[in-house]
Amino acid sequence: MKKIRYYDRNQEVLMPVEKRTKTFEEYSLGYTINLAIDEAKRCILCKDADKRCMKGCPINVDIPGFISKIAEGNILEAYKIITQTDIFPSICGRVCPQERQCEGACILYFDTVRNKRNKGLPVNIGALEKFVGDFVRISGIEPSVEVEDKKGYKVAIVGSGPASLGCAYELARRGIDVEVYEALPKLGGVMFYGIPNARLDKSILEYEINKLKKMGVKFHTGIVIGRSVSLKELKESFDAVFIGVGAGRGNLGIKGDNLINVYSAIEFLMNIALGCPMADIKKVAIIGGGFTAVDCAISAIRFGMETHVVYRRTRETSSARDEEWDHIQEEGAIIHWLTQPKEIIGDENGYAKGLLCVKMELGEPDESGRPRPVEVPNSEFVIDCDAVVLAIGQKPNPIAFEELNLKTTKWGTLEVDQHYMCSVDGIFASGDVVNGGDTVVRALKEGKEAAKHIYDYLINKFRRS
């Protein structure tokens, strides 16, 4: 009988701390083929994986299927299995919070059927997925994608983030002509502008987008839908329109948010991605506890800033990956859990010079079931800093759809029906602009799902007419 290897999880090789804090090169160097095969052999290939790791994966990748192929040394076959559902294995392997998805449901770690913690460490599914994607890309193998015959319909896609790319892939595969309109110079949305190169090398994104180009997807940059071209014009020129403009506009609303050197997270990260000049910041306080806050911290550390992260809740309730908190702590970030920022303090010239905070403790559960943080009396303190980054909340960019008065929710997100169609016939949307901001993999999934509904819409519409 095969011995179950509960504990000997293979970790990816990391760049040494002293080296990685000085470079924006990727710090997680990935598996060698030997390590990947060894890790793949830890998987016990559960027969009921659809109730476990596969269920935990938002796009239901056939995890035992691809892992068994790695164990056999057949990486190309593993790639084919993954890409049946996940078109970007190299990206999802890097940016998904696997410990709350597939790995959180790995039987070695947690028995989802019996709902009880098991004694071991999960198979490193994320690292294996990344390995497969990287192996194929670096080998120069070009796996073919079967594209159906042209159906004679064309769809415009607004934005080029993960939802849009997922939608573009699925439509192009089904023989629909797709044109993607992006305002910014680089394609990929949050994957280019929001995730630092240290976590997702931009060349990977470029490779994946080139795959779509080879499938016939056309990309246009520099076009601001709602300004350069109206949504109405787009709708008149195409058989359907998909809106995947994401959500990046963060919340401000803290006293002192208009001081000099107070940035929204997307401004801070875009500055870096675009290579724009940065102010000379020595100490930065980043407010937030999600992926975006971690990405800001990764970037700030690499610019040599003393980096503080301030989050009102605990690490357990954070949406960022566990290991990323470990990584930035190793790199010197000072993390203030259960800390509520109250005010950004400015100097006489209008520069930020400190963040007034108060300590919190966990109280009774709130409506979400999470313990509500409550202020600890007389616990105010000031974090000395010369810049503050607000990585809290997300709102969609409305200019793409304001003109047609598409119905929105009270949070400003687009209202869609069960087919991802907006309140105007022929206009669809998904991803962050609908869900308000979530993971790359969820956006990818919803983009693909919307594409299936767009396809049905086109086929039925033209069959009727």
Binding residues for another protein, per CB under 8 A?
183-185, 221-224, 226-229, 245, 248-250, 252, 258, 260-261, 263-264, 266-267, 270-271, 274-280, 349-350, 397-400
* End-to-end Cα spacing for the chain: 63
The dihedral region occupied by 324, where left means phi > 0, alpha psi between -120 and 50, and beta the remainder, is alpha
| DSSP structural state of residue 416 | -
Nearer to another protein, 128 or 300 (CB): 300
Nearest-approach distance from CB 90 to another protein, in angstroms: 24
Supply the minimum distance, in Å, between the C-beta of residue 325 and another protein: 25
CB of 243 to another protein, least distance (A): 13
**Min separation Cβ 187 and another protein, Å:** 13
Cβ closest to another protein, residue 99 vs residue 182: 182
Instruction: Enter the tokens of residue 116.
Output: 């009880």
Q: For residues 87 and 136, is the Cβ–Cβ distance under 8 A?
A: no
Query: Rounded to whole angstroms, how far apart are CA atoms 27 and 389?
Result: 23
Give the contacts of 121 (CB within 8 A, at least 6 positions apart).
6, 7, 9, 108, 109
In whole angstroms, the minimum distance from the beta carbon of 353 to another protein comes to 14
AA identity, residue 420: Y
CB of 363 to another protein, least distance (A): 32
> Buried (b) or exposed (e) across 87-112, using 16+ Cβ within 10 A?
bbbbbbbbbbbbbebbbbbbbbbbeb
Residue nearer to another protein on the CB measure, 271 or 423: 271
When the beta carbons of 175 and 398 are compared against another protein, the nearer one is 398
State the Cα–Cα distance between residues 228 and 104, nearest whole angstrom: 45
Closest CB to another protein among residues 55, 249: 249
Least distance to another protein, CB of residue 277, Å = 3
* Amino acid making up residue 384: D
Residue 123 or 183: the one with the smaller Cβ distance to another protein is 183
Q: Least CB distance from residue 217 to another protein, whole Å?
A: 19
Cβ closest to another protein, residue 17 vs residue 270: 270
C-beta closer to another protein: residue 106 or 388: 388
Strands (E), 228-321: 240-243, 247-249, 262-264, 283-287, 306-310
Q: What is d(CA 96, CA 316) in angstroms, rounded to the nearest whole number?
A: 16
Residue type, position 372, single letter: R
Listed residue (184, 166, 187, 173) closest to 216, CA to CA = 173
Measured over all CA atoms, what is the biggest interatomic distance in the chain, rounded to whole angstroms? Answer: 73
Q: Which two tokens stand for residue 268?
A: 């801070």
- CA-to-CA dists, residue 334 to 310, 317, 328, 367, angstroms: 9, 18, 9, 30
Select 48 or 347, whichever has its Cβ closest to another protein.
347
Cα dihedral 19, 309, 100, 330 in deg (nearest 10): 30
Minimum CB–partner distance for residue 81 and another protein (Å): 36
